[in-house]
Amino acid sequence: MLGRLEMPKIEGEMKTELLCTRITQAIKESVIRESQMEGLTTSEWIRNLIVKELKERGALPRVYRLPQLEREGTRG
């Protein structure tokens, strides 16, 4: 996408699994519209919704990972 901000990659589990579902045209159009408004792909937007819901239900841990940053003066 033109002008899309790239988020930093955070090390973690690779996304290797696929979850498919059927939806109506109206839902698809809404998802596309909402994801574009947030500057996300539809996959990112849907994944964020799923993760948020699972965390709220306690089905996923509420762990926040920060990217590894080199500290000044710690390089060899």
As a whole number of angstroms, the distance between CA 37 and CA 42 comes to: 11
Q: Domain extents for the chain?
A: 25-56
pTM of the model: 0.65
DSSP string, 22-47: ---HHHHHHHHHHHHHTT--HHHHHH
Q: What is the pLDDT of residue 1?
A: 43
As a whole number of angstroms, the distance between CA 45 and CA 39 comes to: 9
Q: What is the pLDDT of residue 61?
A: 84
Q: What is the pLDDT of residue 60?
A: 87
Q: What is the pLDDT of residue 48?
A: 95
pLDDT tens, N- to C-terminus, the chain (76 residues): 445 555 555 567 788 999 999 999 999 999 999 999 999 999 999 999 999 999 999 998 877 666 666 666 655 5
Structure tokens given for 52? 């948020």
